[in-house]
């Protein structure tokens, strides 16, 4: 009895009085993270000459740990180190590279829980989603292992006798990855796994607010590379602010820059990289819609919408922001949604049963309030929620709007779902397409004619076009990305790997003669 009371008292004491770091000391110890003095740069050795940045727990805005971030000088040195390391890496056969990626995968699998926990602690998403994010990195490493036996080029029939034409896929050199706070691990994983299998080195510049995730991951990659007698600078890290990101975008040593973030910043990154004829992959804002037809399974739709709009507290680029509902089923669906929303447990993302954690920063809470204000100003209604709950917590919200309101054009990156009605599928598709962004979209229907219209030329203009599933939660096997103001980039599966390669068109003459193409005679 006494022992039990003592155990409860000690749990209470830990929860109430210990800092985030102390409460999760085992996790941080295991991943090599300390409370202060963490070095935020890795280029073969751990260092950092930038300012000290705090990693903050969004649950209570308490500093979890401090990181000595990187500077543009650190970036300058690191870019040379990656390039040196890549010269060795590119000489490995592609299947051998795959074996190293397999070892990276094993290192992640062994640390799935602790890594997922750090994602939750630093980003604020619930633990199952934090772990899911590490799983997504594991998945893409497995995919890259498969690719290591399949980076096939083509043999093309030559029009000239005694000639052989083929394509080669060689690495670009260095891939710079600028990742966002909302997927502090998985999106780096998509890029680095594919960049590596293609023979590139990688330089990671994570979001300034999620340095611990990047340090934990880089430590595991370092260990794996050392175990394989490979130069660990191959996976370098430079944490820091915008100045590091801008320097990376403008540096010609970064052959490809993969940027995930806002449309506003991405537009600049795209211009700068293009200005030096570098390559870029842009994953920018979404304004994703989900259409509910009158013929669909409404219960299924309601469950999907809950995950799509409330999951990750509305902070995925694939979050559903606009719900377009056939007028005949609108009331029925809204009843279900309001009921579902009222049962969502909001709270500490590490607590079992919680579905909605805090927003990542207090600035996001301001964006939430601001968006609600705009809804009201434009004559929209708040159907459910609409309340900031203190700290970074807000109530997931349903609004009733008209599709042409200005507020609906903007992605606020908070859990506000704007709902509206339509009469015909054509009208719904035109609402879906009538925004600047074009990332993800989803149609709920059971009719083949609706499905094929939706995925056809007069259908959704997005990069991700779903049927009877949410807009978010894409698998790694497909290419991920979107059109228009989403930037046009594609990452992850399908043939996205080609962007990480230099394509060579090789024509080899073994004839001993010199026939020219197009039948030209030049005697």
| The only residue of 27, 120, 182, 399 in contact with ligand UN1, by rule CB under 6 A | 182
CB 165 within 8 A of CB 506: yes
Give me the least distance between CB of 373 and ligand UN1, in Å please: 26
Closest CB to ligand UN1 among 384 and 480?
480
Contact (CB, 8 A) for 386 and 395: yes
Region 22-51 residues binding ligand UN1, contact defined as CB under 6 A: none
- 496 in Cβ contact with 472 (< 8 Å): no
Structure token pair of residue 90: 């590119």
Query: Can you name the residues that pair with 155 across neighbouring β-strands?
Result: 166
The whole-angstrom separation of Cα 335 and Cα 306 is 13
Q: What is the DSSP string of 79-127?
A: HHHHHHHHHHHTTS-HHHHHHHHHHHHHHHHHTHHHHHHHHHHHH---H
Q: How far is the CB of 214 from ligand UN1 (least distance, A)?
A: 15
Q: Does 210 bind ligand UN1 (CB under 6 A)?
A: no
Please list the residues that pair with 323 across neighbouring strands: 290, 419
According to the binding rule CB under 6 A, does residue 187 interact with ligand UN1?
yes
Site residues for ligand UN1, 248-287, by CB under 6 A, read 260
Closer by beta carbon to ligand UN1, 182 or else 218: 182
Is residue 189 part of the contact set for ligand UN1 (CB under 6 A)? no
Instruction: Find the binding residues for ligand UN1 in span 463-522 (CB under 6 A).
Output: 472-474
State the SS3 of 22-46.
Answer: HHCHHHHHHCCCCCCCEECEECCCE
Decide whether 182 or 236 has the Cβ nearer to ligand UN1: 182
Catalytic residue (choose from 133, 222, 283, 411): 283
Rounded CA-CA distance 91/16 in Å is: 54
Smaller CB separation from ligand UN1, 177 or 225 = 177
What is the edge-to-edge ordering of all strands in the sheet holding 52-57? 38-39, 62-68, 52-57
Cα 394 from Cα 413, distance rounded (Å): 12
Nearest to 244 by CA among 217, 207, 273: 207
State which residue, 38 or 263, has the beta carbon closest to ligand UN1.
263
Closer to ligand UN1 by CB, 224 or 280: give it. 280
| Of residues 215-244, those binding ligand UN1 (CB under 6 A) | none
Which DSSP symbol is given to 346? B
How distant is the alpha carbon of residue 14 from its chain centre?
33
Q: Extract the tokens encoding 501.
A: 């390669």
Site residues (CB under 6 A) for ligand UN1, limited to 302-341: 316-318
Active site residue 491: no
Q: Minimum CB separation from ligand UN1 for residue 138, in Å?
A: 13
- Sketch the per residue contact string, 118 through 157, with ligand UN1: x for CB under 6 A, - otherwise: ------------------x---------------------
Site size for ligand UN1, by CB under 6 A?
11
Q: Which residues are catalytic?
A: 283
Contacts with ligand UN1 by CB under 6 A lie at: 136, 182-183, 187, 260, 316-318, 472-474
């Amino acid at each position: 009895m006494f022992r039990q009371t003592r155990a409860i008292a000690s749990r209470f004491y830990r929860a109430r009085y210990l800092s985030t770091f102390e409460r999760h000391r085992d996790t941080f110890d295991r991943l090599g993270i300390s409370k202060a003095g963490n070095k935020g740069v890795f280029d073969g050795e751990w260092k950092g000459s930038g300012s000290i940045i705090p990693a903050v727990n969004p649950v209570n805005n308490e500093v979890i740990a401090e990181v000595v971030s990187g500077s543009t000088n650190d970036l300058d040195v690191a870019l040379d180190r990656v390039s040196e390391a890549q010269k060795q890496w590119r000489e490995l056969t592609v299947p051998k590279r795959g074996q190293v990626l397999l070892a990276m995968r094993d290192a992640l699998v062994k640390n799935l829980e602790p890594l997922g926990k750090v994602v939750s602690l630093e980003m604020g998403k619930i633990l199952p989603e934090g772990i899911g994010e590490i799983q997504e990195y594991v998945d893409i490493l497995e995919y890259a292992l498969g690719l290591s036996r399949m980076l096939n080029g083509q043999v093309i029939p030559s029009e000239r006798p005694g000639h052989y034409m083929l394509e080669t896929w060689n690495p670009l050199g260095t891939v710079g990855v600028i990742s966002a706070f909302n997927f502090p691990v998985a999106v780096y994983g998509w890029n680095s796994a594919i960049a590596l299998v293609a023979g590139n080195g990688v330089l990671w510049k994570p979001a300034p607010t999620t340095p611990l995730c990047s340090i934990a991951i880089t430590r595991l990659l370092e260990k794996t590379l050392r175990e394989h007698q490979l130069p660990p600078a191959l996976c370098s890290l430079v944490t820091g602010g915008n100045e590091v990101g801008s320097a990376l975008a403008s540096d010609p040593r970064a052959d490809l820059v993969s940027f995930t973030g806002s449309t506003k910043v991405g537009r600049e990154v795209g211009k700068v990289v293009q200005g030096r004829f570098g390559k870029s992959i842009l994953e920018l804002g979404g304004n994703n819609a989900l259409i509910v037809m009158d013929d669909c399974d409404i219960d299924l739709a309601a469950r999907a919408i809950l995950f799509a709009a409330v999951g990750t507290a509305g902070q995925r680029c694939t979050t559903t922001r606009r719900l377009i509902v056939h007028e005949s089923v609108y009331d029925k669906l809204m009843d279900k949604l309001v009921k579902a929303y009222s049962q969502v447990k909001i709270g500490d993302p590490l607590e079992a049963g919680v579905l909605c954690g805090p927003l990542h920063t207090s600035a996001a809470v301001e964006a939430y309030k601001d968006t609600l204000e705009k809804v009201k100003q434009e004559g929209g209604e708040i159907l459910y929620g609409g309340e900031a709950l203190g700290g970074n917590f807000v109530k997931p919200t349903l609004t009733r709007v008209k599709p042409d309101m200005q507020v609906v054009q903007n992605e606020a990156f908070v859990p506000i779902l704007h709902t509206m009605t339509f009469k015909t599928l054509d009208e719904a598709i035109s609402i879906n397409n009538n925004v600047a962004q074009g990332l993800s979209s989803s149609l709920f229907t059971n009719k083949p004619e609706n499905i094929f219209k939706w995925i056809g030329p007069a259908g959704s203009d997005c990069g991700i076009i779903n049927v009877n599933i949410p807009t978010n939660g894409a698998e790694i096997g497909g290419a991920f990305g979107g059109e228009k103001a989403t930037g046009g980039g594609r990452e992850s599966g399908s043939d996205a790997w080609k962007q990480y390669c230099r394509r060579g068109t090789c024509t080899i003459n073994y004839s001993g003669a010199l026939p020219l193409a197009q039948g030209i005679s030049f005697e």
